[in-house]
Amino acid sequence: MGGSSCGPGAHLVHLWPPHFAFSDHHPWDLGPHSGAALLVSLASEVQDLHLAQRKEMATGFSKGPSLGLLPDVPSLMETLSYSYCYVGIMTGPFFRYRTYLDWLEQPFPGAVPSLRPLLRRAWPAPLFGLLFLLSSHLFPLEAVREDAFYARPLPARLFYMIPVFFAFRMRFYVAWIAAECGCIAAGFGAYPVAAKARAGGGPTLQCPPPSSPEKAASLEYDYETIRNIDCYGTDFCVRVRDGMRYWNMTVQWWLAQYVYKSAPARSYVLRSAWTMLLSAYWHGLHPGYYLSFLTIPLCLAAEGRLESALRGRLSPGGQKAWDWVHWFLKMRAYDYMCMGFVLLSLGDTVRYWASVYFCVHILALAALLLGLALGGGGPGRRKTAPSAASLAPEKLREE
């Protein structure tokens, strides 16, 4: 597989210029939408190749092909072809040049399954689409911009953000599942399961290339490299930090590699704030983006301090109850922040948040202060039990 990555055959081995988001008014994808982002990834891959070549020349010793390394520097035409690849031209997902090259150079493309994985991935989309249509009809966003909305009682105003975010999730679930299905139909992003591919980054383990169509067909493949949404994880994970990882997963990989790791800070919360700031900038200049994105670091700090201070002191039953409460508050925090994304303007966002008394900001500040008073550590240092990752049984996780 070119020795560089583990792909479906031997020697095979957004962010999207011109890959676009759905709309400037609905971007909950936590990531950039311009060609610069995709080319940043390509530039990094080229730099890795140059560094490997220099090291080889300095030592006079070649270790052989490395995982994920490009065979050559792409030409201008190859770069343009990658940038305008039809597979991700509208909604993504993001993919590295190495992934694109693996797809082009598959020696046995007929051995890569696509129909069954596509059907397995697509089956929830019609349900999500119906739920979106129903929820958006019953709870239209435009109602929040009307004066009459603010005459409603406080419980009604608080509740309204829940179906707004629900409709938002359902729409993006449909769009991203459809985008993944487009990749699957083309056999794009398929790697042997043994390669343990991850969203955005591709294979994490080397595996021997199949030497014949029969051996290629005998392998089990997955499409984790182009997996962009984990609907189960988004809805059922316990923490705010985990919720980000399950949403627009390929872009999350890009942000972690090229923004988070280069942040001018060492703490997890400050690095996250830097990442959220740049992510808001990539989305556009609407104040709602910045207000919502920069609320996330506060929530991360609050949940990290309070969880590390209290959860470990509870009994197993108490920890389970804690996780349910934590999950409920996590979902309400995302409901609250989503209002900034969909309302966009400073006036509309602040007006809504003020009508619910900035409840999430106040609750997060209170939790942060309590966690600090109890000596809780930061979110980057704590260790938590795997049971806190999600609430629903693992068997319910979608394929």
CA distance 225 to 192: 11
Closest C-alpha among 232, 226, 230 to residue 250? 226
Name the 3-class secondary structure at 117: helix
pLDDT tens for each residue of 22-39:
344 443 343 444 566 678
pLDDT of residue 392: 57
As a whole number, the mean pLDDT across the chain is 85
Report yes or no: 40 and 32 within 8 Å, Cβ to Cβ: no
Residue 213 above 80 pLDDT? yes
Q: Which residue has the higher pLDDT, 29 or 333?
A: 333
Task: Give the position of tokens 């349900």.
Answer: 127
Q: What is the pLDDT of residues 51-107, one digit of tens each?
A: 887 887 777 665 556 777 888 999 999 999 998 888 877 667 899 999 999 999 988
Whole-number Å distance between alpha carbons of 34 and 28: 15
pTM assigned to the model:
0.85
- Spans of all domains in the chain: 230-376
CB 43, CB 50: distance < 8 Å: no
Give the model's pLDDT for residue 384. 44
Instruction: List pLDDT tens digits, range 349-374.
Output: 999 999 999 999 999 999 999 999 99
How many CB atoms sit inside 10 A of residue 75's CB? 9
Residues paired with residue 229 on neighbouring β-strands, in sequence order? 247
Task: Look at residue 276 in the predicted model and tell me its pLDDT.
Answer: 95
pLDDT of residue 390: 67
Predicted local distance difference test score (pLDDT) of residue 175? 93
251-294 tens-digit pLDDT: 999 999 999 998 988 899 999 999 999 999 988 899 999 999 99
How many angstroms separate the CA atoms of 301 and 87, rounded? 38
pLDDT value of residue 167:
97
Omega into 93 within 30° of 0, i.e. cis? yes
DSSP string, 252-291: HHHHIIIIITT-S--SHHHHHHHHHHHHHHHH-S-HHHHH
More confident residue, 394 or 21: 394
